Amino acid sequence: MRRLLRALFVVPVRHHLFGSLAIVLGVAVVLSAQITDRTSFADSELRQDVMDRWGAPIRQPAPSVRYVGSGAVFNTLQPLPLAKQHVDVEASMNYRKRGLVYFSGFDFAFRGRYEVQNPEPRDVDLVFVFPIEAPRNQILLSDLQFLVDGKPTAADLAEQAALVWTGRVAPGQRLAFDIAFKGRGLDSFTYLLDPELRVNDFRLALRASGGANYDYPAGVVPAASTEVGEDQVALTWSYGSLESGVPVGLILPSEQAYDQLLSRMLTRSPVPFLLLFAGLVALGLSRGRAFKLWEAYLLAAGYGLFFVLLAYLAAFLSFYLAFALSLAAVSGLLFGYLRLLLGGRPALLGLALVAAFLGVPSVAVVLDGYTGLIYTLEIAGLVAALMVFTARPAFGRLVASLLDPQAGQEVGHAA
């Protein structure tokens, strides 16, 4: 037992395991920190850069209507609930990529029809205000139209970020306001009903194409009906009446977060590396050769290089193309080095180990829905291979060479 415990420490040191593992852990820690910084950077400076260039999350307040009896002073303005508000929003996803991060940019077309009715038995002076909340997004708006009872009305946003109409309304008269514009946004669209006013005849239909994995922002009321297609989603909120307004809307579809995939690969990388390194050491000993310090460290560096290559190639290429190129480059590099160290046939076995303990675990992360199945099949294959190998006399000689370095030559001659 004492000999075994001593071997558990001495053998890894003798074969440079701890230093090799430190290289892989160093790559994982440094690269993970960069990805984390990139994520926080994307949520701050990089995200702000995307918003400046593309647009911001859209928060569109509902119009407000105030009135005063004709001839009265204006400090007695009273709120007037809308008699009707029907809104249609068509969004088309246009994802914006910065590094490994995809931002959910979208183009949208807004159309709203609003109706108000004079509730008083006399003429009133009414002001209708449709806020367009975001002066910084003003240059992103286009094709703005503002109609009152079907007649075009001046829609000048130069001095204030709102469409404003004032006029006199006869008793019982009903006015219709039609507003339409196009714009660009980022991540989400939220429509804010006035929480202090009654809502009458409200309908919002929001259709998004280019993705279907939508979500709801915090505090938003879910849609009354949803239709999800292969690459599109349609949501509808419809209320005949509400005692007070509520926010409605959604977080638009998003692309796969590849920085999270890479971070997950890095988190899991030490365990597959230990298995790969053990397999390579055993392969070397079976040929009567233990890896020297720099050889072990170069093998570990080659393993860690896969993640570095993937991170930088994916910033400029499709993630899946970057994944294939990185895996092919590192596999070829390790195969060539093992061929120089051990020869052709052992190098092929080493390439199989690289595929098993670098390729397969990485694929398991990419194919998230099949991760458990892939790991189970790999473990089953590993157990079967160990059963076959440990039943052979060469296994005993290999164990002896690990416990007694002098036995290494005997293992090599036997092989």
Q: Tell me the pLDDT tens digit for each residue of 88-131.
A: 999 998 887 776 677 888 999 999 999 999 988 888 899 999 98
Q: Residue 307: is it exposed, middle or buried by C-beta count within 10 angstroms (0-12/13-18/19+)?
A: buried
Select from 93, 42, 86, 94 the least CA-distant residue to 63. 86
Report yes or no on 47 lying in a domain.
no
Select from 147, 209, 137 the least CA-distant residue to 176. 147
Regarding whether 97 and 23 lie in a shared domain, the answer is no
Cβ atoms of 361 and 284 closer than 8 Å: no
Regarding whether 277 and 149 lie in a shared domain, the answer is no
pTM of the model: 0.64
Query: What single-letter amino acid sits at 249?
Result: G
Regarding whether 216 and 72 lie in a shared domain, the answer is yes
> Residue 374 has what pLDDT?
79
Contacts 24+ apart (CB under 8 A), 146-155: 146/177, 146/178, 146/179, 147/177, 147/178, 147/179, 148/175, 148/176, 148/177, 148/178, 149/175, 149/176, 150/176, 150/178
Regarding whether 220 and 332 lie in a shared domain, the answer is no
* Count of all residues that appear for the chain in the document: 415
Domain boundary among the residues 220, 235, 251 is at 251
> Residue 343 has what pLDDT?
87
Q: How many domains does the chain have?
A: 2
Which portions of the chain are predicted below pLDDT 50?
38-43, 136-139, 407-415
Report yes or no on 184 lying in a domain.
yes
Regarding whether 197 and 71 lie in a shared domain, the answer is yes
Host H or E run for residue 65: strand 64-69
> Residue 8 has what pLDDT?
55
Report yes or no on 51 lying in a domain.
no
Rounded Cα–Cα distance for residues 218 and 370 (Å): 31
Regarding whether 270 and 137 lie in a shared domain, the answer is no
Collapsing DSSP states into helix, strand and coil, what is residue 117? strand
Report yes or no on 49 lying in a domain.
no
Report yes or no on 410 lying in a domain.
yes
Domain boundary among the residues 234, 251, 268 is at 251
Regarding whether 242 and 273 lie in a shared domain, the answer is no
Regarding whether 167 and 130 lie in a shared domain, the answer is yes
Regarding whether 333 and 240 lie in a shared domain, the answer is no
**CATH number for the domain including 179?**
2.60.40
Report yes or no on 48 lying in a domain.
no
Regarding whether 156 and 105 lie in a shared domain, the answer is yes
Regarding whether 193 and 112 lie in a shared domain, the answer is yes
Full residue range of the structural domain in which residue 89 is found? 57-251
User: Where are any strands of DSSP class E within 210-304?
Assistant: 225-228, 232-242, 247-251
Regarding whether 314 and 199 lie in a shared domain, the answer is no
Report yes or no on 196 lying in a domain.
yes
> Residue 110 has what pLDDT?
94
Report yes or no on 292 lying in a domain.
yes
Domain boundary among the residues 186, 220, 251 is at 251
> Residue 2 has what pLDDT?
59
